[in-house]
């Protein structure tokens, strides 16, 4: 019997569906923003890794990575 009374009290004090839906919408927006940020960072990391690989390949092939200025 005590469980039923506790359930009724919990149900009466529970947030309404509108509040839950609002929170859900806000959480979905936050998740989408975080996913976009993660995708952006993944692309930047992939680009950096590719540039590093190219730099290492040039170093191993004997090509200088410095620009030579012959004007002086």
* Domain extent for 48: 22-58
Count of structural domains, the chain: 1
Q: What is the pTM of this model?
A: 0.53
| Residue 65 lies inside a defined structural domain of this protein | no
pLDDT in tens, 13-62: 776 666 677 888 999 999 999 999 999 999 999 999 999 999 999 988 87
Handedness of CA 25, 28, 30, 36 (dihedral sign): negative
* Residues 6+ positions from 59 with CB-CB distance below 8 Å: 65
Domain membership of residue 31 (yes or no) is yes
Distance between CA 42 and CA 29 in Å, rounded? 20
> Does the structure show a pLDDT above 70 at 67?
no
């Amino acid at each position: 019997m005590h469980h039923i009374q506790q359930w009724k009290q919990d149900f009466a004090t529970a947030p309404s569906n509108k509040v839950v839906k609002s929170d859900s919408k806000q959480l979905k927006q936050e998740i989408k923003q975080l996913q976009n940020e993660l995708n952006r960072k993944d692309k930047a990391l992939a680009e950096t890794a590719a540039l590093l690989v190219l730099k290492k390949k040039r170093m191993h092939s004997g090509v200088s990575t410095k620009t030579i200025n012959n004007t002086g």
